[in-house]
Amino acid sequence: MAEAKLKIDPGKSYGFFTDTSVCIGCKACEVACKEWNQLPSKPEGFLGDSLDNTGTLDGQTWRHVKFIDNVPDETLGVGDGKAFLLMSDVCKHCQHASCMDVCPTGAIVRTEFDTVFIQSSVCNGCRNCIAACPYDVIDIDPDKDVARKCTLCYDRLQGGMEPACAKACPTDSIQFGPLDELHRRADERLATLHSQGIKEANLYGRDDKVYGGLNAFFLLMDKPEAYKLPNAKNAVLPQRNNLGGYVGVLGTAVLGLLGAVIALRNRGVRPEPPEEPTVEERP
């Protein structure tokens, strides 16, 4: 998208539409993200895992191109774009964000662009958000000792610029824009692929079935599970266990109280007065 035409208004919802069908795995997005956000590279090493050289999203890797090898042992035909899946992964900026739900400090906020942002000056590194994020997006930045993740280039948006990864993407696999506009483009692209016979293409996070909708949503070439994304059934919020957990504690407390009362009434090995002899003893 040409930057000159882009007008970014606070109060509107923005996000990413990542079309994995045109990702070529160049990792320009990873590099642009690290460059703009001044994130250090990991020490050089060979993961031995396909073309992947960052392995996962973490506190210093906010874009990660997944290389998912689905190539069968014996080639039976053309891959149709799903034998080797590529996906530039990123924070999904969920509408119902698990990380925001569990943050005890209020460090995780929703910005004026409807994105999810971690305030580094507020975060105290409790790591509750890491346990909650269903996408394994958040991690501690070892240099700053706070939880960090993609900000959807909050500073660039404030300056009227699109995020660095979207700008660097040479195939427009990563598209940035107002959410309604991205939805329209995604629907068109999906219709095109389906009309070409690629029925397995599907949109992930386009509707509200997954965490109320994702501001960073995807066009996938296989089921979400193939990309290690929870499907709609498994896209659940941590707070689902609050009620059951507390009721479990309450029930146990009541049973514990009953048990203690029984122990008090039947005092067990309480020393008996010596003058009271035993009349019967049985195991």
Partner 1 sequence: MTLLAASEHFAGSPHWTWYILFYFFLAGLAGGAYFLATLLRYWGTPGDEPVARLGFYVPFPATIIGLLLLTLDLKQPLRFWHMLFNTTPDQFGLNFNSRTPMSVGVWALLVASIFSFVVFVDTLVRDGRIRNRPARRLAALLDGTVGLVWNVIGTILYLFIAGYTGVLIAVSNQPIWSDSWALGGLFLASGLAGSAALLLVLSHYRPGAEFSRGVLERSEHIFTALELLLVVVVVVTLIDDGAVDDAFGFPWILLWLVALVGMLPGLRGLAGDRVRVTRRGAVAAVERAPAWVVAPSLVLVGVLALRAAVIFSAQ
Residues numbered 174-233 forming contacts with partner 1, rule: CB under 8 A: 225, 228-231
Smallest distance, partner 1 to C-beta of residue 26, A: 25
Q: Considering CB under 8 A, how many residues would be counted as binding partner 1?
A: 75
Smallest distance, partner 1 to C-beta of residue 195, A: 31
Interacting residues with partner 1 between 236 and 255 (CB under 8 A) = 236, 238-239, 241-242, 244-249, 251-253, 255
Question: What tokens were used for 215?
Answer: 């501001």
- Residues paired with 139 in a beta bridge: 148
d(CA 256, CA 264): 12
Coil/strand/helix, residue 151 = coil
Site membership for partner 1, residue 11 (CB under 8 A): no
Binding partner 1 (rule: CB under 8 A), the pick from 102, 118, 190, 220 is 102
Site membership for partner 1, residue 264 (CB under 8 A): yes
The binding track of 134-173 with respect to partner 1, each residue x by CB under 8 A or -, is: xxx-xxx----xx---------------------------
Considering only the stretches 18-26, 47-55, 197-205, 235-243, report the one whose residues sit in contact with partner 1 under the rule CB under 8 A. Answer: 235-243
Binding partner 1 (rule: CB under 8 A), the pick from 131, 158, 160, 192 is 131
Smallest distance, partner 1 to C-beta of residue 145, A: 4
- Please check whether residue 152 is in contact with residue 62, taking contact to mean a CB–CB distance below 8 angstroms: no
d(CA 187, CA 140): 36
- Please check whether residue 201 is in contact with residue 21, taking contact to mean a CB–CB distance below 8 angstroms: yes
d(CA 63, CA 212): 22
Write the secondary structure of 50-101 as one string of H (helix), E (strand) and C (coil). Answer: CCCCCCCCECCECCEEEEEECCCCCCCCCCCCCCEEEEEECCCCECCCHHHH
Closer residue to partner 1 in complex, CB, 155/272: 272
Smallest distance, partner 1 to C-beta of residue 283, A: 6
Site membership for partner 1, residue 107 (CB under 8 A): yes
Closest by Cα among 206, 226, 207 to 217: 206
Smallest distance, partner 1 to C-beta of residue 235, A: 9
